[in-house]
Structure 1
Amino acid sequence: MNERLREAPCGFISIDRNGYITEVNNTFLEWMGFKQENLIGKHFESLLSTGNKLIFHSYFYPNINLHGYVEELFINLRNQNGEAIPYLMNARHVKQDSIEMIDCIFVQMKKRIDYELELRKTKKQMEEAYIEKNIAFAKLEQIYLEIEKKQIELMEINSGLVEISNTDKLTGIPNRRFFQQKLEEQIGCYHKEQKVFSLLIIDIDHFKKVNDTYGHHIGDMALIKLANILKSQVRPTDIPARFGGEEFTIILPNTDVEEAITISQNMNQKVAQAEWNEIGSLTISLGAATFTKKDTEESIIENADQALYSSKKMGRNRATHYRDLS
């Protein structure tokens, strides 16, 4: 590693194909409170919490393997004290002297997040000021000027960062981050109002063969068309999202086991019957699970994933509910 990269104003880590850290620059070590010997030879996932490991497996690895790069991944890394530090991560697969590695760049997000929180706090203060009848106009004006100042400062910070979006860039449907937010909301609604809901996990059958045979451009077109089919088939209250790679999810509010089975079977048929001019044909496998009082965010995803695995094992192009596995 040359001296300029070692002291660059961004974090740098290089990992091998198995995820073990081979290089790290001084900037990242200083930010995180580590020394070289703490990280070299360690697996990158040792820096991740359980939730971030799920994101890493469902988004980072599929994209690195499929496209050779990952852009604008918002992720929290644990520092020497175990604290979660937010970063914006870019990564690219490289090959040098027949050795394959993945180079990763990290930009700190804490300052931006702190500004957003401070801005929200200031706006709330202004709202409270309007409610209070005895508040002086001068104070309102001062708070408004502070908001304007903070908005300008926030825009200056944002000029050096890409705004994190809830929309998947390729398909135009919600992304994994948005899906997780909505899943948490559904679980909260279930515990408060006992409103049942179900979850579908969808995987394209033999998608690697599509990319290998027709190229990644045609593969991307297939992902876009599948996303459009899912959007056209779901109900207004349903929440489709790209889970990562060739996997998609659909949250089905107010949907019990039988309804989830019917919806997933119909979805399976619609995709198989669609016209796939560029590749001839395409099918999907689905796994469904319905939330119960014993479930958590992790368990319903795991249950739907097990049902998906069963659909794959039974020959693909089919839908399976977790209930039918027992």
Structure 2
Amino acid sequence: MDSRINFMPCGFISLNLEYQILEVNDTFLKWTQYNSDELKGKHIEDLLPPGNKLIFHSYFYPCMTMHEQVDELYIHFFNKDGESIPFIMNAKRYEGNGKYFIDITLVQMKKRIDYERELRHTKVLLEDAYAEKNRAFEQLQQIYNEIEKKQFQLLAIHNELVEISNTDKLTGIANRRFFQMQLEAHMEQYKLKEIPFSLLIIDIDHFKQVNDTYGHHVGDIVLTHLAIILKEYAHPTDTVARFGGEEFTILLGNTNEKKALRIAQQYNELIAQYNWPTINHLTVSIGCATFNDLENEETILQHADEALYQSKRNGRNQATLYKV
């Protein structure tokens, strides 16, 4: 490995097409406390927490297959002690000497998280200083100026990261990261107030044929049009997001099983009747799941996904409600 790559200020991992680790730079090893021999030959999923493995299967692998790259994916890796470390990941497939590789770069997010914590702590110190009124005005002014400076810095960082982290670049709707935050919020409301909510997972039928027949450019147009349809039809309190590849999710607030299935079937009809440019006709399969006392973040996704594949097995262009 080139010494500049080995010691550059971001992590670097090179994989083969079986997603086994071929090379890893010194920066990533220092961050995770592994040595090179412990990682070489391992599957990349061996370093992922369970929830992040789902992200790889639903988003990372489809993106690598269709686009040969992944941009700005928020992900966690385990270090040697089993601690979860947050990163922003970029990945791209390369060819060299007749072989294919997947190169990954990783930027640690821990410093930004620590920075926010430091800012909150600094604000508390300022409030205490005003309450006690036992510090000189000059010292208070210096602290205030430093906080104001940090607030502007944080605002700039926040605006940039919100744009990157919460919005799907292609379709302009929410991405998986924002969806996960909203799912956690809905679960919290359910625990506090028992407000029901449901989840739809929507998958385009035969989307590979669209790309193979008309090209990826038309495929991107189809994804964008579908996002518009889902967003326009959704209730203002619903969360419509691109889950990854040709899959979309919708969180339906204050919605029980019966209502969720009816909404899903209306989406089926709406999409099937839409006048699609170039391809003329398109259908989707939908899986529905409603949150209850036995559910958690992973199981409701799993149950909606199982219902989705039941829709596929039953002939596509339909919605299926998960039943225990």
What TM-score comes out, normalization by structure 2 length?
Answer: 0.92
Q: Report if aligned partners of 1:16, 1:100 keep a CA contact under 8 Å in 2.
A: yes
SS of aligned partner of 1:171: coil
Segments of 5+ residues of structure 2 without an aligned counterpart are none
SS of aligned partner of 1:23: strand
Q: Report if aligned partners of 2:284, 2:316 keep a CA contact under 8 Å in 1.
A: yes
Q: Which residue of 2 aligns with 1:213?
A: 213
Q: Which residue of 2 aligns with 1:44?
A: 44
Quote the Cα distance in structure 1 between the aligned partners of 2:225 and 2:77: 35
The amino acid across from 1:214 in the alignment is Y
Q: Report if aligned partners of 1:59, 1:244 keep a CA contact under 8 Å in 2.
A: yes
Quote the Cα distance in structure 1 between the aligned partners of 2:38 and 2:14: 15
Quote the Cα distance in structure 2 between the aligned partners of 1:96 and 1:259: 53
Residues 157-306 of structure 1 correspond to what in structure 2 (within 5 A)? 164-306=164-306
Residues 18-97 of structure 1 correspond to what in structure 2 (within 5 A)? 18-97=18-97
The amino acid across from 2:256 in the alignment is D
SS of aligned partner of 1:86: strand
SS of aligned partner of 1:169: coil
State the Cα distance separating 1:242 from its structure 2 match. 0.7
Q: Report if aligned partners of 2:73, 2:90 keep a CA contact under 8 Å in 1.
A: yes
Q: Which residue of 1 aligns with 2:9?
A: 9
Q: Report if aligned partners of 1:268, 1:284 keep a CA contact under 8 Å in 2.
A: yes
The amino acid across from 2:248 in the alignment is F
Task: Spell out, residue by residue over 1:50-106, the C-alpha distance to the aligned partner (whole angstroms, 9 max, x if none).
Answer: 121122222211111111111111222111222222222111011222322211111
Q: Report if aligned partners of 2:204, 2:246 keep a CA contact under 8 Å in 1.
A: yes
The amino acid across from 2:320 in the alignment is T
Aligned in 2, Cα 1:32/1:267: closer, same or farther, shift over 3 Å?
same
State the Cα distance separating 1:146 from its structure 2 match. 2.2
Quote the Cα distance in structure 2 between the aligned partners of 1:65 and 1:146: 47
Quote the Cα distance in structure 1 between the aligned partners of 2:136 and 2:229: 54
State the Cα distance separating 1:121 from its structure 2 match. 3.0
Quote the Cα distance in structure 2 between the aligned partners of 1:225 and 1:188: 32
Q: Report if aligned partners of 2:72, 2:165 keep a CA contact under 8 Å in 1.
A: no
Aligned length: 323
State the Cα distance separating 1:155 from its structure 2 match. 8.0
State the Cα distance separating 1:117 from its structure 2 match. 2.0
What TM-score comes out, normalization by structure 1 length?
Answer: 0.91
Moved more, 36-45 or 8-17: 8-17
Moved more, 197-206 or 76-85: 76-85
Residues 131-146 of structure 1 correspond to what in structure 2 (within 5 A)? 132=131, 138=137, 140-146=140-146
Aligned in 2, Cα 1:124/1:58: closer, same or farther, shift over 3 Å?
farther
State the Cα distance separating 1:129 from its structure 2 match. 6.2
Quote the Cα distance in structure 2 between the aligned partners of 1:125 and 1:224: 48
The amino acid across from 1:81 in the alignment is D
State the Cα distance separating 1:17 from its structure 2 match. 1.4
Segments of 5+ residues of structure 1 without an aligned counterpart are none
Q: Report if aligned partners of 1:202, 1:287 keep a CA contact under 8 Å in 2.
A: yes
Q: Report if aligned partners of 2:93, 2:103 keep a CA contact under 8 Å in 1.
A: yes
Aligned in 2, Cα 1:185/1:153: closer, same or farther, shift over 3 Å?
closer
Aligned in 2, Cα 1:124/1:252: closer, same or farther, shift over 3 Å?
farther
Aligned in 2, Cα 1:148/1:5: closer, same or farther, shift over 3 Å?
same
Q: Report if aligned partners of 1:72, 1:162 keep a CA contact under 8 Å in 2.
A: no
SS of aligned partner of 1:95: strand
Q: Report if aligned partners of 1:112, 1:154 keep a CA contact under 8 Å in 2.
A: no
The amino acid across from 2:243 in the alignment is F
Quote the Cα distance in structure 1 between the aligned partners of 2:92 and 2:223: 22
State the Cα distance separating 1:112 from its structure 2 match. 2.1
State the Cα distance separating 1:36 from its structure 2 match. 1.2
The amino acid across from 1:217 in the alignment is H
SS of aligned partner of 2:52: helix
